[in-house]
């Protein structure tokens, strides 16, 4: 089926304009999520297709030179949106360099046919390839947005490649924007479809990032940034099941800051919060990547050390206790020494072992450590 090419261009311009209006409207309230940048890109996309639809009825510099430059600008904004959504600095010169090159090439080749068509198409292909590269490099492998961006850009490369083959094969005249034939219909349809896929992929990426951030915030303690009570208990269940299946040791440690109420009474609650942050920072910097730490209560923390034997747990945790005692915190000009008591339960989990039972044993060991004068460690098997 052969479609009327200018009509196709006009339809794409209309759809892109509506999408641009919606994204610019909602994106201005939170410019960090990238929606505003996507909207600006769609607006440039719409203007480009308005230019294409006017081919043969307006000056060539507008319908071809400006239109292709605007399309390159649109792709540049899509690339910038990708960086903004994943919260990376936008390399503006790399993102917009192809658009600048397009402007120069269109200005110098506007009176030609094959050279200007090849130049415009190749620049757009480079931009699509860059979007694929940035997507593969900066977006995690899982996720629907990544798939949409890669597929959309890849299909766009195929559509643009068709134009290159047609031009090199002597069919440049058949690929003019005011000509309607099967090749042109397929090429324009592919370009239209993939442009929508890229923009929708970016919107979906912004949604996935927002959901990921909300999930992260829901699992984090506001004061310290480590796992909150609910999240560390969920991690505990996971580690317990993994240790049980692997017949491996799991060390569970309850850590409590000694005389914390006295610190609050003498220095104030702001100082107490700073002591908690100092303690967490000290501990997290010395734990392994495979270990987990969460805030279990006010000044109480739960540590999970998978694959750690009783001897290894005692060695690691006692070093943490001793090193913290030698690293006082500072608040309001005062140097405040911190001491911690630690209760540890280290077992190869059996079927009867649960998170509740192991927590109870570690908690009992903690109270035993406090009963022995604090600033010490007790282990139960």
115: domain CATH number is 1.20.1070
Whether residue 234 sits in one domain with residue 173: no
Residue 257, pLDDT above cutoff 90: yes
Mean pLDDT score, 197-201: 84
Whether residue 295 sits in one domain with residue 179: no
Whether 222 is covered by a domain: the verdict is no
The confidence score (pLDDT) of residue 3 equals: 66
Beta-carbon contacts of 74 under 8 Å, excluding residues fewer than 6 positions away, are: 41, 42, 44, 45, 48, 195
Which of these ranges, 28-37, 162-171, 347-356, has the smallest mean pLDDT?
Answer: 28-37
The confidence score (pLDDT) of residue 2 equals: 66
Higher pLDDT, 248 or 197: 248
Choosing from 164, 187, 217, the residue where a domain stops is 217
pLDDT confidence of 206, banded at 50, 70, 90? confident
The confidence score (pLDDT) of residue 192 equals: 72
Whether residue 20 sits in one domain with residue 161: yes
Choosing from 195, 217, 239, the residue where a domain stops is 217
Whether residue 267 sits in one domain with residue 365: yes
Whether residue 165 sits in one domain with residue 99: yes
Whether residue 158 sits in one domain with residue 18: yes
Residue 214, pLDDT above cutoff 70: yes
Which of these ranges, 14-18, 42-46, 94-98, 367-371, has the smallest mean pLDDT?
Answer: 14-18
Domain count of the fold of the chain: 2
Mean pLDDT score, 44-51: 90
Q: Which two tokens stand for residue 214?
A: 């909300």
Whether 150 is covered by a domain: the verdict is yes
The confidence score (pLDDT) of residue 16 equals: 83
Whether residue 168 sits in one domain with residue 117: yes
Average pLDDT of the residues of the chain: 88
The confidence score (pLDDT) of residue 31 equals: 62
Whether residue 112 sits in one domain with residue 19: yes
Domain of 72? Answer: 5-217
The confidence score (pLDDT) of residue 30 equals: 67
Whether residue 270 sits in one domain with residue 163: no
pLDDT confidence of 186, banded at 50, 70, 90? confident
pLDDT confidence of 165, banded at 50, 70, 90? confident
The confidence score (pLDDT) of residue 275 equals: 92
Which of these ranges, 9-13, 176-180, 217-221, 352-356, has the smallest mean pLDDT?
Answer: 176-180
């Amino acid at each position: 089926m052969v479609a009327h090419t200018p009509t196709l261009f006009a339809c794409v311009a209309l759809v892109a304009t509506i999408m641009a209006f919606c994204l610019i409207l909602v994106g201005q309230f939170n410019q960090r999520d990238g929606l505003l940048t996507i909207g600006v890109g769609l607006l440039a996309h719409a203007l480009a297709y308005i230019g294409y639809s006017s081919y043969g009825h307006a000056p060539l510099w507008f319908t071809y030179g400006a239109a292709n430059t605007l399309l390159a600008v649109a792709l540049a904004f899509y690339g910038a949106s990708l960086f903004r959504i994943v919260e990376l600095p936008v390399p503006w010169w790399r993102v917009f360099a192809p658009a600048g090159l397009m402007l120069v090439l269109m200005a110098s080749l506007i009176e030609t046919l094959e050279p200007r068509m090849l130049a415009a198409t190749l620049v757009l292909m480079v931009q699509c390839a860059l979007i694929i590269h940035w997507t593969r490099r900066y977006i995690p492998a899982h996720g629907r947005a990544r798939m949409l961006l890669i597929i959309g850009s890849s299909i766009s490369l195929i559509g643009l490649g068709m134009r290159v083959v047609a031009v090199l094969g002597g069919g440049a005249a058949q690929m003019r924007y005011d000509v309607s034939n099967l090749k042109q219909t397929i090429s324009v349809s592919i370009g239209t479809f993939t442009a929508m896929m890229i923009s929708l992929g970016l919107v979906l990426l912004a949604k996935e990032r927002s959901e990921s951030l909300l999930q992260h915030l829901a699992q984090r303690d506001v004061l310290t940034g480590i796992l909150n009570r609910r999240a560390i208990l969920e991690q505990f269940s996971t580690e317990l099941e993994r240790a049980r299946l692997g017949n491996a040791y799991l060390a569970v440690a309850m850590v409590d800051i000694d005389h914390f109420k006295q610190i609050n009474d003498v220095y104030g609650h702001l100082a107490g919060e700073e002591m908690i942050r100092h303690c967490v920072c000290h501990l997290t910097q010395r734990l392994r990547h495979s270990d987990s730490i969460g805030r279990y209560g006010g000044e109480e923390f739960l540590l999970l050390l998978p694959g750690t034997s009783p001897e290894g747990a005692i060695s690691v945790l006692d070093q943490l206790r001793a090193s913290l005692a030698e690293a006082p915190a500072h608040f309001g000009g005062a140097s405040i020494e911190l001491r911690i008591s630690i209760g540890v339960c280290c077992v190869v989990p059996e079927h009867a072992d649960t998170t509740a039972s192991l927590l109870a044993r570690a908690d009992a060991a903690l109270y035993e450590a406090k009963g022995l004068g604090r600033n010490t460690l007790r282990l139960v098997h």
